Amino acid sequence: MKLRTLTIAALFILSFAIAGGMLLLNGLSVLAQDKIIAPGASDAQIDVFFNPIDTNNDRVISFDEFSVKQQGNFAKLDTDKSGQITLVEYTVEAQSKPDKLAKETSKFASLDTNQDGSLTLAEFEAPRRQQFDDMDANCDGQMSWGEFAATVRNKPMPKSC
């Protein structure tokens, strides 16, 4: 029963995080980009966050598992399925809102690291990749349960690459 309550709370928090906001609830805080911080989390509470991300249940989080939402967003924005997102595709929903358009245009520019006017999946996912690499303390390309838990508890492991 307790776990069920926790799961509902986690789903609520995650859906809020997807909206890009920040929420404080029972000492858990969730920042934009789905960064979850819960300093006193028990192992069971960590599992509530870990398990839905580890979709193949092998107890490690691969980058593809971690970036599944970003990869879905990329596919959605790439309306002509060229494998690249143009500025027009990226800003399609902001066209009628000047404030949002300016913000999205500058975000696009910051993601377009080779400045060729379009975003590859790697460019689009780069912020998520950075977050993953920060959490992958031993740099083996996988996020272990321990690495994940350490970050959620706000005590990231020292890098040992």
Residues at the interface with Ca ion (CB under 5 A): 54, 56, 58, 112, 114, 116, 136, 138, 140, 142, 144
Distance CA 12, CA 93 (A): 25
Element (H, E) at 118: strand 118-119
Closer Cβ to Ca ion, 73 or 138, answer by number:
138
Of residues 34 and 112, the one with the C-beta less far from Ca ion: 112
How near is the Cβ of 52 to Ca ion at its closest, in Å?
11
Taking the complex as a whole, the smallest distance from the CB of residue 23 to Ca ion amounts, in Å, to 26
Q: Least separation, in Å, of the C-beta of 69 and Ca ion?
A: 15
Q: Which is nearer to Ca ion, 53 or 94 (CB)?
A: 53
Q: Which of 100, 101, 118 is nearest to 109 (CA)?
A: 118
Extended strands (E) in 12-114: 23-25, 28-31, 35-37, 60-61, 85-86
